[in-house]
Structure 1
Amino acid sequence: MSRVAILAGGSPHAHDFASSGAAVADVVSQLGHEVEVVEDPDVAASMLDDVDALAVIGLWWRMLGNTYDPWREQHAYTPPAATRDRLTSFVSNGGGLLALHTAPISFDDWQEWGDIVGGAWVWGVSSHPPVGDVRVRLVGQHPVVDGLPAEFEIVDEVYGDMAIRDGVEVLAVAKRHASDPDQPVVWAHRFGKGNVVFDGFGHDASSIHHPHNRRLLQQAITWILEGS
């Protein structure tokens, strides 16, 4: 049995991260792992010496722009040097990372976070449509997607035009709209000695509990733990 920390929280204006974090905890605990959910990135970073993997689902960023005026004072966040160092060291030394849905948006003034995750949201370039029906298509073979259908549908958002890092192995794609090019929505890679998976789905608990996404998440946890 391994110990998995789940970092779930941040600005609640567009997501119920408490519900999503609890859903991820349920999915991971079904594998027999010990799970702890925390809301604060600095607290999660302080725990990393005692865990084998970290799952991240939340929004912790500077909240620049007038749109975020109502939430900025309470929820704007920049990771301090100690948190950055601990997260980088954890993954590079073999800790597993599962980055879910909004994770590439987080820590937007820390470029290396995009290197760790394998991709990052680019303000003014990246975008997503409203929550709706999404057709997912597998494009790679990997333990993370083993046994999943070649195509399946899920209700969620598709993040597109992100800055995807070289060397990631794209495992699934989807479109934001009918004329959109394929957007990478699931990928795997290694950062140093650590195994990393990005699953672009998980807007809410129902997406996390979707049978195919739940299987993907459990296989992702199993794979990232192999690097620890």
Structure 2
Amino acid sequence: MTIRFQVGGPLFHPVAQQANEVAKLLGPGFDCQIVEGAPAFDNLDDVDLLVPMGLFWTGMSAEWAGSLNYEPLSEIRKQAIRDYVGSGRPLLCYHGGIASYDDWPEYGRLLGYKWLWGVTLHTPVTVQTFRPLISHPIVEGVDSFEVEDETYFNVQMAPDVAVKVIAHIEYEKAKMPILFEIEGGRIPGAGKSVYVGNGHDMRAFEHGNVQKLIVNSIKYLLNR
């Protein structure tokens, strides 16, 4: 089965390295394509799972973000994403990838999740407790654990979806959903979309349970 990882963006999210590690964890039987930036949305017809990981937004030219250039999505690529989602094929949305393409609001609606500037915020990188809330294949074999990570809160959901919160993060006195599943809504024909919020940097990603969540999510979405 073919998995397309969209990577790139600021170095504080080492998503290309993470995607390569996920490909190794999955092993044989998966064709893992790791593509930088907007070209990841080209030629999606044979892609079984799209994984938006890269962070591309209009403010990425800021010095703190690495003084990077932003490339808006072409109309052809926008339509390719609509066609992919409308085909019923699944999405695995990962950490900062939901903050991309803020000049095209439909992107967040198609994913099902978005970082809304001025509303969505994040914790500092600090030790937090991950806690499963329900029984689900994605958290199979994963109990509560502590991880040093950055968590997004007030993640915005598409307005027309039913959200299943699978796990949350406990930080100080707050409990913040971090692992979601939605199905349908968004666009006619839309299938499942999962958001894994863990994995800001390699230290967080290298936690065995974080890796298990990502691998479990991929196998769940591909019925493997």
Common fold by TM > 0.5: yes
State how 1:114-125 maps to structure 2 within 5 Å. Answer: 114-125=108-119
Deviations 1:147-205 (A, max 9, x none): 321x1112211101221334121111114x4133x221001112434221100012123
Give the letter for the 1:121 counterpart. Answer: W
> Is the contact made by 2:37 and 2:54 (CA closer than 8 Å) also made in structure 1?
no
> Is the contact made by 2:16 and 2:34 (CA closer than 8 Å) also made in structure 1?
no
Residues 31, 153 of structure 1: CA spacing in aligned structure 2 closer, same or farther, 3 A cutoff? farther
Equivalenced residues, count: 218
In the other structure, the counterpart of 1:8 is: 7
The whole-number CA distance in structure 1 between the counterparts of 2:54 and 2:96 is 6
**Does the alignment pair 1:34 with 2:36?**
no
Deviations 1:66-105 (A, max 9, x none): x825768642232222212111211221222111110111
Give the letter for the 1:222 counterpart. Answer: K
The whole-number CA distance in structure 2 between the counterparts of 1:226 and 1:89 is 21
The whole-number CA distance in structure 2 between the counterparts of 1:81 and 1:215 is 36
The whole-number CA distance in structure 1 between the counterparts of 2:208 and 2:55 is 25
**Does the alignment pair 1:218 with 2:218?**
no
Residue of 75, 78, 83 corresponding to 2:77:
83
Deviation at 1:122, TM superposition (A): 1.4
Deviation at 1:26, TM superposition (A): 2.4
Residues 130, 147 of structure 1: CA spacing in aligned structure 2 closer, same or farther, 3 A cutoff? same
Deviation at 1:129, TM superposition (A): 2.2
> Is the contact made by 2:4 and 2:51 (CA closer than 8 Å) also made in structure 1?
yes
3-state SS of paired residue (1:216): helix
In the other structure, the counterpart of 2:177 is: 184
Give the letter for the 1:60 counterpart. Answer: F
Gaps (5+ residues) in structure 1?
Answer: none
Residue of 14, 19, 22 corresponding to 2:20:
22
The whole-number CA distance in structure 2 between the counterparts of 1:77 and 1:127 is 24
**Does the alignment pair 1:194 with 2:187?**
no
State how 1:66-145 maps to structure 2 within 5 Å. Answer: 68-69=62-63, 74-145=68-139
Residues 49, 37 of structure 1: CA spacing in aligned structure 2 closer, same or farther, 3 A cutoff? same
3-state SS of paired residue (2:53): strand
**Does the alignment pair 1:172 with 2:171?**
no
> Is the contact made by 1:188 and 1:197 (CA closer than 8 Å) also made in structure 2?
yes
Q: Percent identity?
A: 29
Give the letter for the 1:184 counterpart. Answer: P
> Is the contact made by 1:104 and 1:117 (CA closer than 8 Å) also made in structure 2?
yes
The whole-number CA distance in structure 1 between the counterparts of 2:67 and 2:197 is 28
Give the letter for the 2:173 counterpart. Answer: S
Higher helix share: 1
> Is the contact made by 1:137 and 1:152 (CA closer than 8 Å) also made in structure 2?
yes
The whole-number CA distance in structure 1 between the counterparts of 2:65 and 2:136 is 40
> Is the contact made by 1:136 and 1:152 (CA closer than 8 Å) also made in structure 2?
yes
TM, length-normalised to structure 1: 0.85
TM, length-normalised to structure 2: 0.87
Structure 1 residue runs of 4+, over 4 Å off?
69-73
Residues 213, 71 of structure 1: CA spacing in aligned structure 2 closer, same or farther, 3 A cutoff? closer
